Amino acid sequence: EAGVTQFPSHSVIEKGQTVTLRCDPISGHDNLYWYRRVMGKEIKFLLHFVKESKQDESGMPNNRFLAERTGGTYSTLKVQPAELEDSGVYFCASSQEGRESRNTEAFFGQGTRLTVV
Amino acid sequence: RKEVEQDPGPFNVPEGATVAFNCTYSNSASQSFFWYRQDCRKEPKLLMSVYSSGNEDGRFTAQLNRASQYISLLIRDSKLSDSATYLCVGETDSWGKLQFGAGTQVVVTP
């Protein structure tokens, strides 16, 4: 079974440009999460989709970040315009259950390493 | 103050020895806790869950102390392959939102 896949694995862009990250969750997983790790810091929550709906976007840094999950399958995270502080590793995770999902493991993708120069 | 605090290490452990380390959490509403393992430049992977009084899985034992708000992980008979960063993680809501510590690095040496 395919795991969570993320594309691209690496991206180097100039400040002010736009980048779109993609996440394909495990098939059948309703929950999809985006997390980010900036250098030297812990992994931090960005947002959570249940199917195509945003359940929680409290971790989104600002309005330069836009996440979508059309059709409840794959998700995209767009950064426009990118700033230097957006550099980091962006992880996507998915899990199977909805509410009361305490016992459901979240599987992570290998991440997209974003460098803004 | 960070929500989940961990000693960054590194903990240098001879092969075959036992190593233990803790994390503390400040969000008393967190219900579930986990240890994730992350290898260099890889994704975090669930090592084990810690739900109530503790959990054991082979050479790994995790303990939760709600009164003192800390979680521990003990690794017995360390293997070279145990070298990794161990992330202490709390689940902060019923939707599976996770809060990570910065990780404890363990280096097992021959």
Tens of pLDDT, residues A57-80: 999 999 999 999 988 899 999 999
For the segment A99-114, what is each residue's pLDDT rounded down to a tens digit? 554 547 899 999 999 9
CB contact under 8 A, B46 and A101: no
Nearest CB among A35, A42, A105 relative to B102 is that of: A42
Instruction: Indicate which of A108, A112, A113 best probes the interface with B, i.e. most B CBs within 10 Å of its own CB.
Output: A108
Cβ–Cβ below 8 Å for B95 and A108: no
Instruction: Compute the distance between CA of residue A98 and CA of residue A84 in angstroms, rounded to an integer.
Output: 35
User: In Å, how far is A101's CA from the nearest CA of chain B?
Assistant: 6
Mean pLDDT score across all residues of chain B:
92
Chain A residue closest to B42 (CA)? A110
Nearest-CB residue to B96 (from A91, A95, A110): A95
Tens digit of each residue's pLDDT (9 = 90 or more) over B69-88: 999 999 999 999 999 999 99
Q: What is the secondary structure of chain A as a DSSP string?
A: ----EEE-SEEEE-TT--EEEEEEPPTT--EEEEEEE-TTS--EEEEEEETTEEEE-TT--STTEEEE-GGGS-EEEEESS--GGG-EEEEEEEES-SSS-TTSPPEEP--EEEEE-
On chain B, the residues whose CB falls within 8 A of the CB of A111 are: 43
Residues B2-52 have pLDDT tens digits of 789 999 999 999 999 999 999 999 987 777 899 999 999 999 999 998 967
State whether residue B58 sits within 8 Å of chain A by CB. Answer: no
Strand extents, DSSP E, B1-110: 4-6, 11-14, 19-25, 32-38, 45-50, 55-57, 60-65, 70-75, 84-91, 98-100, 104-109
Residue B52, token pair as written in the block: 């109530």
Instruction: Determine whether the interchain pair A108/B93 forms a contact, defined as Cβ–Cβ distance below 8 Å.
Output: no
Q: Which amino acid is at A54?
A: K
User: Does A35 score more than 80 pLDDT?
Assistant: yes
